[in-house]
Chains A and B, each alone.
Chain A
Amino acid sequence: MDWANAVIQGTLLGGLYALFAAGLSLIFGVMRLVNIAHGDLIVLAAYLGLTVSTALGLHPLAALALVVPAMFAIGYALQRVILNRTMGGDILPPLLVTFGLSIILQNGLLTVYSADPQKLQAGGLETASISAGGLTVGVLPLIVFVTAVAIIGGLQWMFYRTALGRAFRATSDRQDVAQLMGLNRAHVFGLAMGLSLAVTAVAGIFLGVRTSFDPAVGGSRLIFGFEAVIIGGLGNLWGTLAGGIILGVSQAIGGQIHPGLQLLAGHIVFLVILAVRPRGLFPKMED
């Protein structure tokens, strides 16, 4: 029963990892950009949630209504003002600029909020649970998982059914031709980054409700998201969800064997998949 429980908890945790990964996957798909500051932006969203919920006395989930648009705006501005200048054939400038951004964010958060661990208080929701057949599932992890599935489904729908998705796919295929067809590349990139950070906002709030966080935890969130993307296969959003679940379950099973093995087990499963299937389990896109 312990093992079944570990698999279920791991699956639900995988939903959160898929949320970390979805924003990463989105911007890589549209503009081949890998954002090293992604994890720190997740933490920034958690802190914004903290400020909004304490200043206005809101429930953290209600704070999403403010944090999501704020992060969208930050993403759009970031892309238009800084990151668009680094886009080109060379991978070094975007990588190093987002790396610098990561250092700025970490130390900025440290200056404003100090290194003390924080947590978003969600009241009774944190401890509510449903029991069925000897297994107990927390309501909050379940909400996170269902939200992750809904967001990935929504992104998938947006990509293949809307004009914005068409613009994203066109830019992804051939930037110059898309530009010739009347798409403003700079604007499309800005929207992609805005959308990525809007998803990140949801991920950050859920992170803050589930566990405590401090300014230094961004790096490992980036790594979990990245592992979920690679396990699932580049360019496949449902694959990213599967990758997140595989990572979450590996960690839960590793933690069940020995508490010190939790993180290591996730990394090892990632490396094994990389060795056996370098393009991930369900690849859709050439890298």
Chain B
Amino acid sequence: MQVTRTSPLSRAAMLIGLVVLVALAAAPWWAGRAELRLFGEMFLYMALATLWNLLAGYAGLVSVGQQAYVGLGGYAFFALTMLFGVPVYLALPLAALGGAIVAAPVAALIFRLRGAYFAIGTWVISEVFRLIAAQTPALGGGSGTSLPAGIVKTLAASRDGREAAAYWLALGVMALVLGAAFAVLRSRQGIALTAIRDNELAARSLGIDIWRTKFVTYVLVGGLTALVGALIFLQKLRISPEAAFSANDWTAFVIFIVVIGGIGTLEGPILGTLIFFALRETMADLGTLYLIALGVVAIAVMLKAPSGLWGLIRARTGAELFPLSYRVTGLTARRPAPSKD
């Protein structure tokens, strides 16, 4: 008998994932400018969805205010490069650090709110950030500001070079976020998180420090979300309070992605992002009707298949692409039944 985390499927998936990653890294040589932009945007949404899923799907912290950190990261990046002359490649990690530093006292405050009230509390925080940004004349106040050409040109001299650099940064951050989420979930912290996801009371009675586990997760996610935010506005080259702290763009879409793909799994947000972008590219001309349809689909999924599309696939086949669960093999000659973590 043997206890393993990997399965032939997960080994194959990791290998294919690596090949896809290499192929994507070479995209500036085989894809056009429009495709690069689309891919870059997809990677950033995939990162946001993975981060929101860590909060809501694992730590039980359902936030509807993650736009607070997207906007904070964007504004921190603009302030560092424009006002303090920090080089672009240094400003990105500093924006992430800033997000984490701000997330700590915010967590201490809003963790006092339970459950659904926590959700609205996170929204209040993002409103506060938005109003502060709108009251900061150095960053353009309510109408926002653009990144000066001089700073943009430090990325690369040619336009193609800049497009490629922005693309690689987005790919790199997506890989970093997925890697971080995977590493966290495989660690001691991740086992605690999985226990909290399954049953908070039982986790507490096993001696898990719930508050500390949630706090560490919230701060980590805040920092990484700020990093994604900095990249989003590096690509847009323009920031305004409305765009930076948009609940629709940075939270509503992200929630749809995670709910449709499968909440509480690492694969779900990836699958959800692919579906979301496929729908968007084919149906976005419908405008508000498209958004109404998204809302209806999300409600239907939540009512009929709360574990999302990946949850359905996993329940049928036991498939798991990221080796996270422990499985016992070699007990009998037959293939073991799909384990649930």
Contact = CB atoms under 8 A, between A and B. Distances in A.
Interface of A: 32-34, 36, 82, 85-86, 91-97, 99-104, 106-108, 110-111, 219-220, 222-223, 226-227, 230, 260-261, 263-264, 267-268, 270-271, 274-275, 278, 287
Interface of B: 56, 62, 64, 109-110, 112-117, 119-121, 123-124, 127-128, 131-132, 134-135, 247-248, 252, 255, 259, 263, 288-289, 291-292, 294-296, 298-299, 302-303, 306
A227 B124 contact: yes
B295 A260 contact: no
Contacts of A274: 109-110, 112-113, 121
8 shortest interchain CB distances as A-B pairs: A34-B116, A278-B112, A104-B295, A103-B295, A107-B288, A100-B299, A100-B298, A100-B295
Decide if the interface of chain A is mainly helix, strand, loop or mixed. helix
A263 B62 contact: no
Contacts of A103: 248, 252, 291-292, 294-295, 298
Contacts, number: 117
Contact of A287 (B62, B109, B117, B306): B117
A107 B62 contact: no
Given A36-B119, A287-B117, A270 B135 contact: no
A94 B120 CA distance: 14
Given A34-B120, A220-B127, A100 B302 contact: yes
Decide if the interface of chain B is mainly helix, strand, loop or mixed. helix
Nearest to B115: A91
A77 to B, nearest CB: 15
A111 B289 contact: yes
Contacts of B252: 99, 103
Contact of A264 (B123, B128, B295, B296): B128
A285 B306 CA distance: 30
A99 B52 CA distance: 15
Contacts of B288: 107-108, 110-111
Nearest to A270: B124
